[in-house]
């Protein structure tokens, strides 16, 4: 038997994990590289940020997922580039790793749209560290206001969420519930009703990809929770203590949560790969990355290179539709497809085009309030959608322990109207008012935070 092809996967998110798992039993050797030793379940980050779940509930050690997969090795390291001539992955702190197949699955990063001050003073919600930072910061604002209530007049309890997509809507709804249900009891003399959650959306509706009826249901649910939804409004500037809107209004606020959009991981463009305007790697119908055209041997340096998930720009099916959205089902399906193609090539077969199977989209606004759009034009709102949302998220969480813990937390929260870890984690001095100063200090507790 000859040497088995070496598949290197960069990124252990939804896409990378799908590739890795699906390569079990294929005649290949796999190296799965991630800069973290854990994988993050991003759809529940907002619950960590709003003290609904522990940080460790939405993360899972990568090695723990592959105890039984003999053909796979996990490597913790930051990928910095590719040596295309030598066909090696370059890492910040380790020796280069050679590959026969390379699967790029590095996900996305926040995009600031060039808004002055946003990168410095707003916080995105993309990593576990971001979520813990938001939680630290939000709880700290209430502690500060409780100690000195005059701060409320200067915007201490104004919370601005930028972006009316699923992340912004979920974040705004969860913040409003946290304040009205839990902080009302935690800070009984503060007058928590003075806290404001302001959701800002450039378009004239929230949840743009959803049906208008779902958008209206989401808007009603947000407004019922006292979220101030500002449609057709844009944030023009973020400073440590205020936000300036395009309309000219200046709102004092020390907390700006950035949920306005993502772009593909910049390392993809730095690798010299063909990318779309938003930096997503262009892929062929089978999800392979096309090589440079018409330059002799140069053409072959990118053979066996694939891209999946948020970093890629796959189409729903060959020659039709736009680029698929950056969502977990797309990442999982593209990942599984690439694994199958690598398996086919190992067997000497031709590759097949990718076809996306849409199983629906969901978003939750809060307790018994969600929207779900399923195949066959089925639209659910309210409790039924919320139960479907809960079930699906439990199903897709990595690890039995995490599933049990999340279920228990949710059941506890539902029955007692209580929340979990309203804990301020910090190293050194007390968190200051500017989010960026905290970012450097934030420590993520992987056990019980």
Give the nearest distance from C-beta 264 to ligand FAD in angstroms.
9
CA angle 11, 14, 19 (to 5 degrees): 70
Among all residues, whose Cβ is closest to ligand FAD?
A: 13
How far, in Å, CA of 8 to CA of 352, rounded?
Answer: 21
Site for ligand FAD in 201-240 (CB under 6 A): none
36 binds ligand FAD (CB under 6 A): yes
Closer by beta carbon to ligand FAD, 329 or else 432:
329
Find the binder of ligand FAD among 6, 8, 13, 122 (CB under 6 A). Answer: 13
Give the nearest distance from C-beta 38 to ligand FAD in angstroms.
8
Site for ligand FAD in 247-286 (CB under 6 A): 265, 267
How far, in Å, CA of 91 to CA of 180, rounded?
Answer: 47
- The sheet carrying 72-76 orders its strands as 72-76, 29-34, 6-10, 101-104, 305-307
Find the binder of ligand FAD among 11, 164, 261, 279 (CB under 6 A). Answer: 11
How far, in Å, CA of 179 to CA of 184, rounded?
Answer: 6
Find the binder of ligand FAD among 52, 107, 279, 413 (CB under 6 A). Answer: 107
Which sequence positions are flagged as catalytic?
A: 170
Give the nearest distance from C-beta 16 to ligand FAD in angstroms.
5
β-sheet bridge partners, residue 82: 89
Find the binder of ligand FAD among 8, 30, 74, 79 (CB under 6 A). Answer: 79
Residue showing tokens 């913040």: 175
How far, in Å, CA of 281 to CA of 129, rounded?
Answer: 26
Find the binder of ligand FAD among 53, 106, 195, 313 (CB under 6 A). Answer: 106
Under 8 Å between Cβ of 78 and 60:
no
> Of the ranges 28-36, 242-250, 282-290, 379-387, which one interacts with ligand FAD (CB under 6 A)?
28-36
Per-residue buried b or exposed e for 54-87, using 16+ beta carbons within 10 Å of the residue's own CB = bbbbbbbbbeebbeebebbbbbbbebeebebeeb
Pairing between β-strand 369-374 and β-strand 361-366 as defined by DSSP bridges: antiparallel
16 binds ligand FAD (CB under 6 A): yes
> Of the ranges 281-289, 304-312, 315-323, 394-402, which one interacts with ligand FAD (CB under 6 A)?
304-312
CA angle 200, 202, 206 (to 5 degrees): 70
Name which of 235, 311, 320, 325 is nearest 270 in CA terms: 311
Under 8 Å between Cβ of 318 and 285:
yes
Closer by beta carbon to ligand FAD, 192 or else 398:
398
156 binds ligand FAD (CB under 6 A): no
Find the binder of ligand FAD among 39, 50, 54, 288 (CB under 6 A). Answer: 39
Site for ligand FAD in 119-148 (CB under 6 A): 125-126
How far, in Å, CA of 235 to CA of 118, rounded?
Answer: 9
Find the binder of ligand FAD among 43, 261, 421, 433 (CB under 6 A). Answer: 43
Sorted by sequence, the CB contacts under 8 Å of residue 167 that are 6+ apart come out as: 46, 125, 259
* Site track for ligand FAD across 323-362, x = CB under 6 A: ---xxxx-x-------------------------------
Find the binder of ligand FAD among 8, 10, 58, 388 (CB under 6 A). Answer: 10
> Of the ranges 35-43, 271-279, 289-297, 409-417, which one interacts with ligand FAD (CB under 6 A)?
35-43
Give, in order, the Cα–Cα distances in Å from 152 to each of 19, 148, 157, 199, 238.
49, 8, 6, 19, 19
Give the nearest distance from C-beta 112 to ligand FAD in angstroms.
15
Closer by beta carbon to ligand FAD, 66 or else 187:
66
34 binds ligand FAD (CB under 6 A): yes
3-class SS of residue 197 = strand
Name which of 325, 329, 327 is nearest 313 in CA terms: 325
431 binds ligand FAD (CB under 6 A): no
Q: Tell me the H-state helices in 277-433.
A: 328-346, 383-396, 400-416
List interacting residues with ligand FAD (CB under 6 A): 10-16, 33-36, 39, 42-43, 45-46, 78-79, 105-107, 125-126, 166-167, 265, 267, 309-311, 326-329, 331
């Amino acid at each position: 038997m000859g040497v088995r092809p070496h598949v290197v996967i960069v990124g252990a998110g939804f896409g990378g994990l799908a590739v890795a798992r699906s390569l079990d039993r294929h005649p290949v050797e796999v190296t799965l590289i991630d800069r973290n030793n854990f994988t993050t379940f991003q759809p529940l980050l907002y619950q960590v940020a709003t003290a609904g779940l522990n940080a460790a509930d939405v993360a899972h050690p990568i090695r723990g997922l592959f105890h039984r997969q003999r053909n796979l090795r996990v490597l913790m390291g930051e990928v910095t580039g590719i040596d295309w001539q030598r066909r090696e992955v370059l890492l910040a702190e380790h020796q280069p790793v050679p590959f026969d197949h390379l699967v790029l699955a590095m996900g996305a990063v926040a995009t600031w749209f060039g808004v002055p001050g946003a990168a410095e003073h707003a916080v995105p919600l993309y990593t576990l560290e971001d979520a813990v930072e938001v939680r630290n910061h939000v709880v700290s604002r209430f502690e500060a206001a409780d100690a000195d209530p005059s701060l409320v007049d200067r915007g201490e309890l104004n919370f601005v969420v930028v972006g009316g997509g699923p992340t912004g809507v979920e974040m705004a709804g969860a913040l409003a519930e946290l304040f009205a249900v839990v902080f009302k009891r935690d800070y009984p003399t503060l007058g928590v009703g003075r806290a404001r959650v302001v959701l800002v959306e450039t378009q004239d509706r929230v949840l743009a990809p959803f049906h208008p009826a779902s958008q209206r249901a989401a808007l009603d649910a947000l407004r019922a929770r006292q979220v101030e939804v500002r449609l057709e409004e844009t944030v023009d500037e973020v400073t440590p203590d205020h936000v300036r809107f395009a309309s000219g209004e200046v709102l004092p606020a020390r907390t700006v949560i950035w949920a306005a959009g993502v772009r593909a991981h910049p390392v993809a463009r730095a690798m010299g790969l063909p990318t779309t305007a938003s930096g997503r790697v262009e892929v062929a119908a089978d999800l392979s990355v096309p090589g440079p055209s018409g330059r002799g041997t140069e053409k072959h340096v990118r053979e066996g290179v694939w891209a999946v998930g948020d970093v890629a720009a796959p189409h729903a099916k060959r020659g039709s539709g736009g680029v698929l959205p950056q969502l977990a089902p797309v990442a999982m399906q593209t990942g599984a497809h690439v694994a199958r193609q690598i398996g086919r090539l190992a067997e000497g077969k031709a590759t097949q085009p990718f076809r996306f199977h849409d199983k629906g989209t969901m978003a939750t606004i809060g307790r018994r309030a969600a929207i779900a759009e399923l195949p066959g034009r089925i639209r659910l709102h309210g409790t039924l959608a919320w139960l479907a949302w809960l079930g699906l998220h439990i199903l897709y969480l990595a690890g039995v322990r995490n599933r049990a813990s999340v279920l228990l937390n949710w059941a506890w929260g539902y029955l007692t109207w209580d929340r979990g870890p309203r804990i301020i984690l910090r190293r050194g001095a007390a968190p200051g008012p500017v989010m960026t100063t905290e970012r450097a200090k934030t420590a993520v507790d992987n056990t019980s935070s």
